[in-house]
Structure 1
Amino acid sequence: MTSESLTDLGDALRRLASEPVLLVASDYDGTIAPLVDDPSDAVADRESSAALKRLGRADHTYAALISGRSLADLELASGLGDIVRLIGSHGSEFDVGFTKDLDPERAELRNALVDETFRICARTAGRVEEKPAGVAFHLRNVDEAGRAAALSALAEGPQTWEGVHTRSGHDVLELTITSTNKGHALERLRAEVGATAVLFIGDDDTDEDALVTLTGPDVGIRVGPGESAAHFRVESPDEVSRILALLSELRSDWLTGAGLQPLQHHSILSDQRTAAIVNPQGRIVWLCVPRIDSGAVFAELLGGQAAGAFSIGPLDGSAPVAQQYRPGSMILETRFPEFTVTDYMDVSGSRAQELAGRTDLLRVIEGTGQAMIEYSPRLDFGRVPTSLVTTPNGVRIQSAIEPLVLHCSGEGWSGHEWKLVSYGPNQSARAVVDLLRGPVVLELRAGTDSLDDHPRPEYDRQSDTHRFWTDRSDPLELPESAREVIRRAAITLQALQHGPTGALVSSVSTSLPEYLGGVRNWDMRYCRIRDAALSCRALAELGSVQEGRRLLDWLQKVILVRPETDRLAPVYLVTGRHLPPEAEITGLAGYGGARPVRVGNGADLQVQLDLYGQVLELVETLRQRGEVLTLKDWRLVEKLVISVAHRWREPDHGVWEIRRVPRHYVHSKVHCWMAVDRGIRIARQFCDRAPDTWLALRTEIAEDVLANGWSEKRQSFTAAYDGSDLDVGALSVGLSGLIPADDPRFAATVDAVRRELLTGGTVYTSHSDDGLPGRRHGVHLATSWLIDALLLTGRRDEAKELFAILRSRVGATGILTAQVDPMEERALGNIPMAYSHAGFIFNALHLQ
């Protein structure tokens, strides 16, 4: 192979290694074993055998041999039948003894075929091999005259019989009563295991039946000479062994998370309608358009390179030397040794509030040297084949339902053009630009098919975008400690608000795992009322009340038009509509192999009673910060308190959205109390007095919590009324004010949480069984709750120590995920997680 083809094959193997379900299949003779005169002497290469075994044992990975040998012979020769799927007789034999099921007529035909072939070939030096479905005549040791005579007799005799099929291979002619071939076998095997991609290695013409079936992300390799449909060619089984060993290593690394980009070191871009995720190398690895909960056009974060990305980098592949946001803004700069890439989403004018507006993501390359650009959009999470059309100033996607174009401009672009590269049914566009000519501006436009030049200079748009964010971040009342980190946390929360509606989403991503390789993967691209209210309250405490005001306006539209307010869902689309049913994107492998990748969220069908308390706590905070409450605000407060009165005695699914039978969670009951308590405070300011029924209700809920939530046996408040298991949510009893901070029961609960749930500087929500496989890990919001509880109980030094650890887990550009595995110090969960940033802000303010 040439060095270029070796590089291409390496890229192909890396793509295969990140497929959700991988099938690796090969012939035996001539691929993993050498071709020899006597097939009984063919021994599989030890390295190939070991690699196939490793692949066969790996999760979501299957290995198979599809050979012309009989199944029994293949099993004896390979010794791999315990781990690798074996299929014999060119795809006819999936099970030993399958010919027992032949009807009498076909069995008679098979026996006659065997007898006649033996008779014809008896006078040659060839070897006749009887097989379950026919016979093979091996010609390796037959002289030319004998070969010609035997082949002529077979051609005029058994090969003419009805029901007999012929296959030719390396010095072998096979006659069989079955019409199946290796292609049929590979397709059947693909369907059985649900493979999303296949690697097939063959060396013979009979292997072409399998190679021609390959499509999409599949890869075919031909060993030796001959016309072939394979994508790559190697010379010998020795090269096959190296390929299988490399693929085994790549697959293992991918499944175990080796080489994964740490989640906390990613960054986001936002125009308050959608958002992109940029990895530490400056690749855009996640973008949904036209809305934050739409299908992704770049999903490499969850599906590897095959799922689409937008990359810019040096030709030599050197890494960036720095990546940072421009102070106070959402403009991201990634510096390479010779040039800088500046990324932002245009929010000039009133774009952030335009419901049906266009999203423009701009990438400006400035500096010296050359830069490689690769633009690889993949429609709808890669489920729709993506074909591109290039023009002198851009790239279009053919037949896209939602228009998406890439516009190219700047002095550095002049004279350059795109090269299209095919990856199965998809295309990518590549270009190399010389920056000595000047800067290059790449503008990804969603919502338009126009490649006309923009009427305003890029610099003006960038300046307006910078001003948009600094106008929101400069007035913030920041604590002296961790000042810039808190500013970044606040900007991140502001970026999560949906400009056209005021809803605030929990995250910009879906299915980043809470457990690497597990199923704890959730779609958080929606407005969870609890998270949104908590986030807006954190911003209000920093002096920015407009986010909370806009969220309340959105809530009023969602709630006040619904007569069933007491049946408020915990999560909505940013438009205020209910979520679609939870579904899975089977074609995406997941971050670190964590599947399934989900869209939608079943939590919208749950009961989560704590959200009422969070909303009314937000209203009270806005009032305390000087926001004038309107009559509509008061009607909202009334409706929510009445809803609590109707529902507080019900069990629910709790703050952690446990997918089991609902329980009477202490955290939920406390937040019902908090809703009524904050409603009373608001009523006294808005109406001079609170209804007596509210006062009585507050007392009743508090008495219920104290009577049923406290466990004398374990000396702490528990997770729920019906058990003794501990949950960090029990801290809400003191954090909410239901009992005083100096109440011994609160101090005892803080001790219990610290003793049982604090590990490695992070707090686990609980250690009880939540019905899902895989381990739980520490949750940043839970850690924030313990920090606040330690402060309330006078343990300031412990709180500062724990806050320092939490701060160390903030990424290089200010991102906090949802969780952390303290044993491996690995960030987990969706990014950025709104409630993590909100809790972090509260901690910094309370420490001050």
Structure 2
Amino acid sequence: MPTRLNQTVADSALLTKSLPLELLRAFVQSDAADDGLTPSLMAELKLLARTPSLLVACNYGGTLCTAEGISTETLPLGSASVALRALAALPNTHTAVISGRSLRDLAAVSRLPAEVHLVGSHGAEFDMGYAHGLALATESVLQNASLALMEAVGFEKGISIERKPVAVAVHTRPAARKVVAAVTQRAQDVAREHNLHFIVDGSVLDLSVVEPSKGEALERLRARLGVGAALYAGDAPSDELALATLRGPDLGIRVGDAVPAPGHRLRDPESFARVLAMLFELRRAWLFGEDAVGLERHSMIGNGSSTALITPDARICWMSHPLPDSGSIFAHILGGDAAGHFSVEPLKPSPVLAQRYVDSTMIVETRWADVTVTDYLEPAPEGITSLVRVLSGTGGARITFAPRPDYANAPFSMEARGDEVHVVGTSDPILLSAPGLDFSITSDGRHATASAEVDLRNGPVVLTLRCGDTEPYTADPGGETERRSAVALASRQWVGGLKIPTVKAALVRRSALVLRALVHEPTGAVLAAPTTSLPEGIGGTRNWDYRYCWLRDGSMTVKALVDLGSTAEAEGFLDWLGRILANAPGPEWLHPLYSVSGAPLSTEATIESLPGYAGSRPVRIGNAADHQVQLDVFGPIAELIHSLAIRTGVLSDAHWLLLEQMAAAVLARWHEPDHGIWEARRPPRHHVYSKVMCWVTLDRALRTAEQFGRDAHAEWAPTADTIRAEVLREGWDDAAASYTVAYDSPDLDAAVLHIGLSGLLDVRDQRFLDTVAAVERELRVGPTVFRYRYDDGLPGLEGGFHICTTWLIEAYLAVHRYDDALELFNQLVNLIGPTGLLPEEYDPATEMHLGNHPQAYSHLGFIRCAQLLDAYTPPTP
């Protein structure tokens, strides 16, 4: 099910074909010293560009073009027309022209496409049929007024009269000034005599049966389109009605000097065309990301309680505080510069030479020709995030510190105090210590940014960002090397205790370190991923918050570490689970996921102010899957307890109690339908994978009881047999020649491979061989395997899931298709990012990596495959 790039990107490219974007950019970059493009206007444009839903509206003559005319005499400036069209092609962006011209004339002369809303007759005429609804008496009034005007002013040189659907217009532009004055007075008298509204619109005098209603028209467009903010530009008195309706984040612009009024004023229509081009550039950058770096190219640092993502050019683009699911400090990956970042770049422009992890650590080095940045999160007391950035080399570097707390929604100010930068006004203290640096602070009218330049020939510079530290921080640059060495030593000692397979050993070590960094040591919970809303399809809505502990994912993550020889993470996770069960009404009522603190999740919400990665929205906070029924979660927990006991040779009473509770939950609910592993947002079904995992729960409980001398409950064995028989009978579909996603469904699902991988069905059974063949045939595309292809009740497309790819590799090995397993494994290896990390998905059609990053599922699956390939023994002939 390949993902497609957001069509609006292509649409805007097509719309700008008549005038290349380079010309728009030339407008932006040209000298604007005296045309009204002031710094305050630019600041407001930047804010307006970040509005979730925007309307850009303006008058026609005198605003989009230099003068009014009749019929096709006047056309809008080419650049203004292209900018309007390009803006209209952007997501959640609407454009409109509200003119005094008749709608028919406006459409003919402007030649603007259907994407641009046109409103004629000073805001009264929204459709071509409007004039046909006028009463005969009204037509008579207009006819009489037209005749009166012809007699009164029609003979004057340079004067012409035009009949409109709701008005009679007197055009005065070519006439001499004295003639215009006299004609204006006579036309006003005719309007009074015929009880018509007299409207002066530049060089056009309108005698209209309706009042000018540009304000009402703007309000009507806002309501119809559901926009949150608007820009309106105009040059005539009638435009003041529209400008008067602006409020809040709206922006009003007057063009020319016809109407004296305070506010932003541009010199001429060409200046307004430049503003439209600027707004397009700003909004496109905000919507689609100024530099949507491939997800797999991001590196993660972590210290067991906090994580952060780093771009290939050493920008901290994501970090939350104090908990994984707390508001962000930096969210550049979801909203560009406006969402917050912490950047370092060489003063002498040069390409990045390399980015790498220091061997067997979560310390990242980014190197240019004359600048190196070393990043890590050092251990800190609970509730404190401590990020260290060390700059070294022989050149100069520029530092930009732009925190944007709470997804760029929290107000704050910034103060430079000696060699420290303090973020003031936030709920938790935020302090950047930078001995020897002199920061300057600027503001874009909403947020502050601190910047500094440093000459590294004078020695390394240590930047320490402390969030949540209420005690004064004493910088110790001389001791940084020792602190970093201690961090590296602890990491290497942990890695040294693992049993690493020989197959892709370096990548397995990196995957293990990633999994360990996703363990929240203060609580024992395990994150599915450290990020939220990284899309499963570019431009789509499948953007989920994974900064929580799924019981399934957490169990599988720490089991992968147990299988490598590290058991402390599993012990911590089971302790965390025990505390949750102590407060639950019963094990059968466990939620599928919890916050790391063990609390149920709050309501899923969206952050409208963030455009999302590469324009993919919404950005979600929370996860509605918390309210689903997922009966498969008990199986991975049971399997973890069994594996941990085998690894350590000990089964504690606490862990046996947990196993009994998981079995009790299965006995109580295994026969119910549920939402399944993939959390489809549709009614529950009898999912085959969920039933298999219910069987796994009882099977592992029985094995553990036998191996460790515990008393198995009487109901376990017969219930396990009942579940197995039902799954084998009801889960098979003759038409698909495979086990399928749910009873009475022909749809394939990669998760049903577990019917054999779990041991429920012998892998030599023809039904399992056929299921492997069906998954391979229907769900594998090149180097990836899709979860399924059926309608799951959600809009949009997604990529193939790396965890599904690893399941197929495991299935190949189980049925002794070693060459196929090795080939697919190597293809998976080729998809791993340059520093060894994997996100959740891959789209073979666009060759893009998708989903939250790095993903625990992807890395634990990779470890499992490497171990199986390492231990594989061909069948005996």
> What TM-score do the two structures reach when normalised by structure 2?
0.84
Partner of 1:288: 320
Tell me: CA distance 1:796–1:429, structure 2 relative to 1, closer, same or farther (3 Å): same
Kept in 1: contact 2:199–2:238 (CA 8 A): no
Q: Distance in 2 between matches of 1:385 and 1:163?
A: 51
2:419 aligned residue (393, 411, 417):
393
Work out whether residues 360 and 492 of structure 2, in 8 Å CA contact, stay in contact via their aligned partners in 1.
yes
Number of equivalences: 835
Give the equivalent residue in structure 1 for 2:450: 429
Q: Is residue 263 of structure 1 aligned with residue 295 of structure 2?
A: yes
Is residue 561 of structure 2 the alignment partner of residue 539 of structure 1? yes
Instruction: Give the alignment partner of residue 409 of structure 1, picking from 426, 434, 444.
Output: 434
Question: Partners in 2 of 1:458 and 1:180 — Cα distance?
Answer: 70
Deviation at 1:54, TM superposition (A): 5.0
Cα distance change of structure 1 residues 165 and 837 upon mapping to structure 2, 3 Å threshold? farther
SS of equivalent to 1:347: coil
Taking structure 1 as reference, are residues 587 and 256 closer, same or farther at Cα in structure 2, changes over 3 Å only? closer
Alignment check: 8 A CA contact 2:342 2:401 kept:
yes
Change (3 A) 1:267 1:545: same
Q: Are the counterparts in 2 of residues 502 and 550 from structure 1 also a CA contact under 8 Å? A: yes
Q: Report matched runs for 1:488-503 at 5 Å.
A: 488-503=510-525
Contact 1:19 1:303 in 2 (8 A): no
- Mapped pair 1:85 → 2:117: yes
1:438-837 alignment runs, 5 A limit: 438-448=459-469, 452-454=473-475, 457-626=479-648, 628-837=650-859
1:143 is aligned, of 135, 155, 176, to 176
% of aligned pairs identical?
41
| 1:446 partner amino acid | C
User: 728-737 or 6-15: which moved more?
Assistant: 6-15
Deviates more, 1:13-22 or 1:78-87: 13-22
- Secondary structure at 1:361's aligned position in 2? strand
User: Match of 2:715, SS?
Assistant: helix
1:359 match: 385
Residue 722 of structure 1, CA deviation:
1.4
Amino acid at match of 2:318: W
| 1:398 Cα deviation after fit | 4.4
Secondary structure in structure 2 of the residue aligned to 1:539: helix
Displacement of 1:86 after TM fit?
Answer: 1.3
Q: CA deviation at 1:570?
A: 0.6
- Structure 2 unpaired stretches of 5+: 1-26, 871-877
SS of the equivalent of 1:788 reads: helix
Instruction: Summarize the alignment of residues 193-232 of structure 1 with structure 2, pairs less than 5 Å apart.
Output: 193-195=225-227
- Residue 844 of structure 1 corresponds to 866
**SS class of match (1:428):** strand
Equivalent residue, structure 2, for 1:370: 396
The match for 1:327 is 359
Residue range with higher mean Cα deviation, 262-271 or 105-114: 105-114
Indicate how the Cα distance of structure 1 residues 686 and 120 shifts in structure 2: closer, same or farther if over 3 A, else same: farther
Distance 1:436 1:381 in 2: 37
Question: Which of 363, 379, 400 pairs up with 2:405?
Answer: 379
Secondary structure at 1:330 match in 2 = coil
SS at match of 2:795: coil
Q: 1:82 and 1:448, CA in 2 relative to 1: closer, same or farther beyond 3 A? A: same
Find the counterpart in structure 2 of residue 304 from structure 1.
Answer: 336
The answer (yes or no) to whether the contact 2:308–2:318 under 8 Å persists in 1 is yes
Structure 1 contact 31–223 (Cα < 8 Å) conserved: yes
Structure 1 residue 96, shift from structure 2 partner:
5.8
Contact 1:18/1:304 (CA < 8 Å) preserved in 2? no
Write the deviation string for residues 522-569 of structure 1: whole angstroms up to 9, x where unpaired. 111110010000010111111111111100000000013323211111
Alignment CA distance shift 1:718-1:185 (3 Å): same
Distance in 1, Cα, partners of 2:96 & 2:817:
61
Distance 1:595 1:452 in 2: 39
Secondary structure at 2:425 match in 1: coil
RMSD: 4.1
Structure-2 change in CA distance of 1:89 and 1:383 (3 Å): farther
* Residue 378 (structure 2) aligned to one of 337, 340, 346: 346
Change (3 A) 1:751 1:372: same
Q: Is the 8 A contact 1:113 1:134 kept in 2?
A: no
1:438–1:256: structure 2 CA closer, same or farther, 3 Å change rule? Answer: closer
Equivalent residues of 2:71, 2:109 under 8 A apart: no
With 19-28 and 637-646 compared, the bigger mean Cα shift is at 19-28
- Say which SS state the counterpart of residue 702 (structure 2) adopts: helix
Written as runs of structure 1 = structure 2, the 5 A alignment for 1:59-98 is 59-80=91-112, 82-91=114-123, 93-94=125-126
Shift of 1:115: 10
Q: Distance in 2 between matches of 1:368 and 1:130?
A: 75
Change (3 A) 1:34 1:517: same
* CA deviation map 1:801-820 (0-9, x unaligned): 10011111111122211111
Q: What amino acid is the match of 1:666?
A: V
Residue 343 of structure 1 deviates from its aligned partner by 1.8
Q: In 2, Cα distance between the equivalents of 1:225 and 1:315?
A: 44
Q: Distance in 2 between matches of 1:5 and 1:408?
A: 39
Letter in 1 for 2:173: R
- Find the residue that maps to 2:679 and give its secondary structure: coil
Please give the alpha-carbon distance, in whole angstroms, between the structure 2 residues aligned to 1:801 and 1:2.
51
Contact 1:347 1:468 in 2 (8 A): no
- Compute the displacement of 1:266 (Å): 0.9
CA–CA distance in structure 1, aligned partners of residues 323 and 136 of structure 2: 64
The answer to whether the Cα contact below 8 Å between 1:581 and 1:601 also exists between their aligned partners in 2 is yes
* CA apart distance, 1:442: 3.0
**Equivalent AA in structure 2 for residue 476 of structure 1:** L
Query: Which ranges in structure 1 are unaligned for 5 or more consecutive residues?
Result: none
| Matched-pair contact (CA < 8 Å) for 1:535–1:834 | yes
